[in-house]
């Protein structure tokens, strides 16, 4: 069955430290990958996406993610986090031309001063 | 450009009642998907509409139904509400099938 796994339910980190949020997806022929961010009591905002081409994708606020086909991973990284990055982060995938966007269970990033 | 909007923002119902949630897709988008997000979980796909036709459905019972209108706005209807239906319901629109999806702010449904 198609699935997306986010093993870390919560990641605490100090401000200005680097962070990596892990995401793995079930093996598939084709895949589009997304990271969404959700602030408290709000909907989902698209952070970045991989559709094709360069395996390293970046967002405007300093996050980046790398598509690794052999590892079936799409980990999210930021070299230096801010308090304002505290939120829930969801990895999602469209696999094998499916119309269903499949989400992981989310990782809560908690940035401490 | 107006983004995806949903109404109402919050809703409280009792078991057995029926509810209708509404979604206006982003301008030019012909595909609408609905998701249920229970507390502390990732969104779960309910169904998708493409050009007014249901294009696919997740593992939800038939009491979850929907519509898409000619202007591509959409409704989610839930009959015979159960306590476990309490969740954030998210609507997302996309330009075409298999494109990135843009989410609305959601409707928080509480079933008592």
How far apart are the CA of A95 and the nearest CA of chain B, in angstroms? 10
How far apart are the CA of B47 and the nearest CA of chain A, in angstroms? 8
Whether B78 has a pLDDT exceeding 70, the answer reads yes
- Cross-chain residue pair B42–A105, CB shorter than 8 Å: yes
Split at pLDDT 50, 70, 90, the class of A70 is very high
Please state the rounded mean pLDDT for residues B30-59.
92
The answer, for A94 touching chain B at a CB cutoff of 8 Å, is yes
From the candidates B10, B37, B42, which should be mutated to test the interface with A, based on the most A CB atoms within 10 A? B42
Split at pLDDT 50, 70, 90, the class of B99 is confident
Mean pLDDT, chain A, integer: 92
- Cross-chain residue pair A49–B100, CB shorter than 8 Å: yes
Q: Which residue has the higher pLDDT, A96 or A4?
A: A4
Please state the rounded mean pLDDT for residues B10-33.
95
Inter-chain CB pairs, A–B, below 8 Å = 61
Structure confidence by residue, pLDDT tens digits, B34-47: 999 998 899 999 99
Which of B50, B56, B103 minimises the CB distance to A100?
B56
Whether A112 has a pLDDT exceeding 90, the answer reads yes
Question: Closest-CA residue in chain A for B6?
Answer: A43
User: Which pLDDT value is given to residue B44?
Assistant: 95
**Shortest CA distance to B88 belongs to which of B32, B35, B14?**
B35
Please state the rounded mean pLDDT for residues A3-23.
96
DSSP string for chain A: ---EE---SEEEEETT--EEE--EE---SSEEEEEEEE-TT--EEEEEEE-SS-SEEE-TTS-EEEEETTTTEEEEEESS--GGG-EEEEEEEEETT-SPPEE---EEEEEE-
- Report the distance separating Cα B18 and Cα A40, nearest Å: 27
Percent of chain B with pLDDT over 90: 79
User: Which pLDDT value is given to residue B1?
Assistant: 59
Interface of B with A in 67-106 (CB under 8 A): 90, 92, 97-98, 100-106
Whether A95 has a pLDDT exceeding 90, the answer reads no
Q: Name the CA radius of gyration of chain B, rounded.
A: 13
């Amino acid at each position: 069955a198609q699935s997306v796994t986010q093993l870390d339910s919560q990641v605490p980190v100090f401000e200005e430290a680097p962070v990596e949020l892990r995401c793995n997806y079930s093996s598939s022929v084709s895949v589009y990958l997304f990271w969404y961010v959700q602030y408290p009591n709000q909907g989902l905002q698209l952070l970045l996406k991989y559709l094709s081409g360069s395996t390293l994708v970046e967002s405007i606020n300093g996050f980046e993610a790398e598509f690794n086909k052999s590892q079936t991973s799409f980990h999210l990284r930021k070299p230096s986090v801010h308090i304002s990055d505290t939120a829930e982060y969801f990895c999602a995938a469209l696999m094998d031309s499916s119309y269903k966007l499949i989400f992981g269970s989310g990782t809560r990033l908690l940035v401490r001063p | 450009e107006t983004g995806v909007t949903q109404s109402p923002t919050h809703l409280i119902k009792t078991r057995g009642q029926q509810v209708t949630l509404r979604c206006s897709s982003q301008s030019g988008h012909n595909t609408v998907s609905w998701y249920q997000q229970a507390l502390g979980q990732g969104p779960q796909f309910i169904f998708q509409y493409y050009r007014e036709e249901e294009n696919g459905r997740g593992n939800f019972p038939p009491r979850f139904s929907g519509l898409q209108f000619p202007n591509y706005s959409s409704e989610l209807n839930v009959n015979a509400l159960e306590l476990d239906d309490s969740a954030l319901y998210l609507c997302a629109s996309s330009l075409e099938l298999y494109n990135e999806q843009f989410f609305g702010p959601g409707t928080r449904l509480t079933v008592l």
